[in-house]
A and B are shown apart, each in its own frame.
Chain A
Amino acid sequence: MLARLENVTKRYRTAEGVRDLTMDVPAGEIVGVLGLNGSGKSTLLKLIAGLLFPTGGSITVLDGSPRAARSRTVYLGETDTLWPWMTSDDAERFMVGLYPDFDARRYRELLDGLQVPSRKTRAMSKGERGRLRLAMALARNAKLYLLDEPLAGIDLISRETILTSLVREWHTDETILLSTHEVAEAEGLFERVIYLRDGRLALDARAEDLRERGKSVVATFKEVLS
Chain B
Amino acid sequence: MRGFRTLLWLEHRRSWIWAVSLLGSLAFWAWGIKQVRVMDVGERLGIRAGLLAMAAAIGVVVLCLMIGRIRAETRHGQYQVLLLTPPRGYAHVGARYLYAATVAFVYAVTIGFLYWWIMALAGIHLDARTLLELTLAAPFYASSVTVLPLLAWTILLMVFISAYRISGPGWVPGTVMILGTPFAMRWLINGIVRISYSLPGWRLFANAPAALIERFGQPDTEEAFQMSQIIYKGVPVEPLLIMLALTGVLLAIAGRIWQEVEA
Contact = CB atoms under 8 A, between A and B. Distances in A.
Nearest to B83: A51
Given A79-B76, A93-B6, A71 B166 contact: no
Given A67-B259, A75-B84, A98 B13 contact: no
B10 A94 contact: yes
Interface string B1-23: 01101110110011000000000
Interface residues of A, number: 28
A77 B77 contact: yes
Contacts, number: 68
B71 to A, nearest CB: 15
B167 A13 contact: yes
A97 B7 CA distance: 8
Given A11-B167, A13-B168, A50-B84, A85 B13 contact: yes
A81 interface: yes
19 contacts: A52-B166, A53-B167, A53-B260, A55-B167, A71-B86, A75-B80, A77-B80, A79-B77, A80-B76, A80-B77, A81-B80, A81-B81, A90-B13, A94-B6, A94-B10, A97-B5, A97-B7, A97-B9, A99-B86
B66 to A, nearest CB: 15
A78 to B, nearest CB: 9
A60 to B, nearest CB: 18
B169 A51 contact: no
Interface string B150-181: 00000000000000001111000000000000
Interface of A: 11-13, 49-53, 55, 67, 70-71, 75, 77, 79-83, 85, 90, 93-94, 96-100
Contact of B3 (A50, A52, A70, A98): A98
A12 B166 contact: yes
B6 A97 contact: yes
B24 interface: no
B262 interface: yes
B87 interface: yes
Contacts of A49: 84
Contact of B9 (A50, A51, A93): A93
A93 B85 CA distance: 14
B78 A83 contact: yes
Contacts of A67: 259
Given A81-B76, A81-B78, A82-B78, A51 B86 contact: no
